[in-house]
Chains A and B, each alone.
Chain A
């Protein structure tokens, strides 16, 4: 197990004009559970393959425990990786699949047997140990892929590349719980790539949100929800995502549709494009208080109702608890402490006070 550091790491594919990964500086601690979250094509898999050594970065260094491994091969880095689609060796039995990485490394036979038996038990696959791997279901195959990493007790880190994509929804939850348990038991450094926020937020202690080849925020699930550092994080995390409303700034107040919202600091940047971020959960609907909302749609999602509408040309949505009546001509007011102010998509200030405006 190791801590992982990325120093001025960037990558551009030889034939592509743009960087797949923009220069980044990261330090991930030993034994942490990290999730790389972001939409398809944001560079998550590229970053993962750079860490595992399947891809050599065009710029920067990768360090495991302060040792430079940038030029080492995957085999030398001693990494385990679980891929999006389960990779099993079809012609081998389940037990042979698990023993394969150990045999390749010339480990003693009785040691192999012991570790394989351990992992079989851990993954609840004892009964299928002597079945051919290809007769298994997709989730069992994915367990084998994971098991091939777990049998190697000395791996530096276990990397997951959207490992639950092909798994049935009800098994996803179960496998995720098992992963979490394995992490708590062995304290492997784990990095989990996904575009599913639920997966990322339940699996990881620290979520790394990526957008267009750059890391836009690292934080606990709570931090990502409450203080998104980038408008993308606000929109991507949460269902529905944060409302992002164009606004103006006047000293230490943000002005949206004529209303003034107090900020914790004064902001002064004449060229920046300002936006106000407020989560649907922090918007209150009433018949008279606040700004009038032109309702365009109502979506009943069970526990609550999503009210979609417009204020001064800006789209906005709010959440209303199921059973609470929605006024005919509703007005909305914001929880002033939960507001965030963004200049050119990056957060520069937050709201102040304890009132609804």
Chain B
């Protein structure tokens, strides 16, 4: 005896509004970019098919390579500093008492400031003539000038990003840490575990999932950073802080090279997807390993 399963496709109508919204906000603009990336135009709304020419041009251009390397280096440094620093601060934060709210508010403050305001703050902060940081360093006899010195420009941008975004890592890690039941720490004391062993075998495994979110968010954000360096250094001195995003805007809006800019956008997008996928796969490999080897968590 076979039973005919009744199918009701009315549910698709329910998701239609979402599909339309996503189409307008994401799919249609993306398709426009795809459209530009394979055509050339000389104005008058006339377009000529060029195939993968723009992609080849971008992928072989030194300008793109350099911007990509700078961006990767920037993201790498940001992750290398903000993730360990965030974990350390989260570990040092109080777990109960009045100090908790004070710390949380202090941590949340930088996150509430708009990007361009952060840029402006640091642009002024670092100025040698009037800025607290720049003038302070100058009066200490340190030769600091982020508008002229390459290293100073990088240091300023990294310091700014660390100041702006470490809080996010801290808050995520802190939420993971406070959710660890007290009994784990008690068991560790009974087993005579050292502070490092407690971190390595209890705290780190328990915050791994929020840490993955922190790494992905900080990677994507720092890899796409635009406003703050644009306000502080404008990509200079020279091209030394011209990240992919700044380069892309120069190409698309400054030079109005829509075709190459569209091709570059797509490559940029794919790189972010690829790196996020790598992070995700590596950081969750242990969980997957478990599912294939053991019967899985009970």
Q: Which residues of A are at the interface with B, using a C-beta cutoff of 8 A?
A: 49, 52, 54, 73-75, 79-81, 83-85, 87, 89-92, 100-101, 104-105, 131-132, 134-138, 145, 148-149
Residues of the B chain whose Cβ atoms lie less than 8 Å from the Cβ of A85: 181, 183
List chain A residues, Cβ under 8 A from B184: 87
Q: Which residues of A contact B201 (CB under 8 A)?
A: 89, 91-92, 100
CB distance from B286 to the nearest CB of A (A): 7
- Cβ–Cβ contact B194 & A131, under 8 A: no
Neighbour of B202 across the interface among A89, A104, A131, A134, CB < 8 A:
A89
Inter-chain CA distance A185–B132, complex, in Å, is 73
Query: Judging by beta carbons under 8 Å apart, are A100 and B190 in contact?
Result: no
B286-298 near A? 1/0 per residue, CB < 8 Å: 1000100111111
6 more A-B contacts (CB under 8 A) besides A81-B190, A104-B192, A132-B294? Answer: A75-B192, A83-B183, A83-B186, A85-B181, A87-B183, A100-B191
Residues of A near B298 (CB, < 8 A) are 135-138
- Once the chains are docked, how many angstroms separate the CA of A87 from the CA of B189? 12
Known: A85-B181, A85-B183, A87-B184. A135 touches B190 (CB 8 A): no
Q: How far is the CB of A138 from chain B (nearest CB, A)?
A: 6
Closest to B197 in A: A104
A84 to B183 alpha-carbon distance, docked (Å): 9
> Per-residue CB proximity of B254-291 to A under 8 Å, as 1/0?
00000000000000000000000000000000100010
Decide if B189 touches A73 in the complex (CB within 8 Å). Answer: yes
Known: A54-B189, A104-B193. A135 touches B290 (CB 8 A): yes
Given known contacts A54-B189, A131-B294, A90 and B183 CB-to-CB distance under 8 angstroms? no
Interface residues of B, Cβ cutoff 8 Å to A: 181, 183-184, 186-187, 189-194, 197, 201-202, 205-206, 286, 290, 293-298
CB neighbours (8 Å) of B197 from chain A are: 100, 104
Return 28 A-B CB contacts under 8 Å, by A number. A52-B190, A74-B186, A75-B189, A75-B190, A80-B190, A81-B186, A81-B187, A83-B183, A84-B183, A87-B184, A89-B205, A90-B206, A92-B201, A100-B197, A101-B191, A101-B192, A104-B193, A104-B194, A132-B290, A132-B293, A134-B290, A134-B297, A135-B296, A135-B298, A136-B298, A137-B298, A138-B298, A148-B191
Alpha-carbon separation in the docked complex, A145 to B197 (Å): 17
Q: Which of A83, A100, A137, A138 contacts B193 (CB 8 A)?
A: A100
Tell me the complex Cα distance, A138–B205, Å.
19
Say how far A59's CB is from chain B's closest CB, in angstroms.
Answer: 22
A89 to B198, CA, bound (A): 10
Chain B positions within 8 Å of A100 at CB level: 191, 193, 197, 201
Residue of B nearest to A138 (CB): B298
Rounded to whole angstroms, the CA-CA distance of A81 and B187 in the bound complex is 7
Q: Which of A80, A92, A132 has the most CB of B within 10 A?
A: A132
User: What's the Cα separation between A73 and B190 when bound, in Å?
Assistant: 9
Option from B189, B194, B205, B295 in Cβ contact (under 8 Å) with A91: B205
Chain B positions within 8 Å of A92 at CB level = 201
User: CA of A85 to CA of B194 in the docked complex: distance in angstroms?
Assistant: 22
A90 B205 Cβ-Cβ under 8 A = yes
Contacts of A101 in B (CB 8 A): 190-192
Which residue in chain B gives the minimum CB-CB distance to A49?
A: B186
Cross-chain contact A87 with B187 (CB below 8 angstroms): yes
B167 CB to nearest chain A CB (Å): 28
Partner of B293, one of A83, A131, A138: A131
Which residues from A are CB-within-8-Å of B190? Answer: 52, 74-75, 79-81, 101, 149
Bound Cα distance A138, B187 (Å): 16
Query: Shortest distance in angstroms between B186's beta carbon and chain A's nearest beta carbon?
Result: 5
A171: min CB distance to chain B, Å: 13
Using Cβ atoms and an 8 Å threshold, which residues of chain A touch B194? Answer: 104
- In the assembled complex, which residues on chain B have CB atoms less than 8 Å from the CB atom of A81? 186-187, 190
User: In the docked arrangement, what's the CA distance between A294 and B294, Å?
Assistant: 60
* In the A-B complex, the 9 residue pairs with the closest CB atoms: A135-B294, A101-B191, A87-B187, A104-B192, A74-B189, A89-B201, A91-B205, A75-B192, A83-B183
Which chain A positions have C-beta within 8 A of B294? 131-132, 135
- Least CB distance from B203 to A in Å reads 11
Q: In the complex, which residues of chain B have a beta carbon less than 8 angstroms from the beta carbon of A138?
A: 298
In this complex, what residue of B is CB-closest to A89? B201
**Chain B nearest Cβ from A46, distance in angstroms:** 13
B192's nearest neighbour on chain A, judged by CB, is A104
The distance in angstroms between the C-alpha atoms of A56 and B202, with both chains bound, is: 24
Q: Which residues of A contact B202 (CB under 8 A)?
A: 89
Chain A residues, CB < 8 A from B192: 75, 101, 104-105
Cα(A135)–Cα(B287), bound, Å: 10
Minimal Cβ-Cβ distance residue in A for B189: A74
Residue of A nearest to B204 (CB): A91
- Residues from chain A with Cβ under 8 Å of B181 in the complex: 85
Q: How far is the CA of A136 from the CA of B295 in the complex (A)?
A: 8
Known: A54-B186, A89-B201, A137-B298. A104 touches B191 (CB 8 A): yes
Interchain nearest-CB distance for B34 vs A (Å): 44
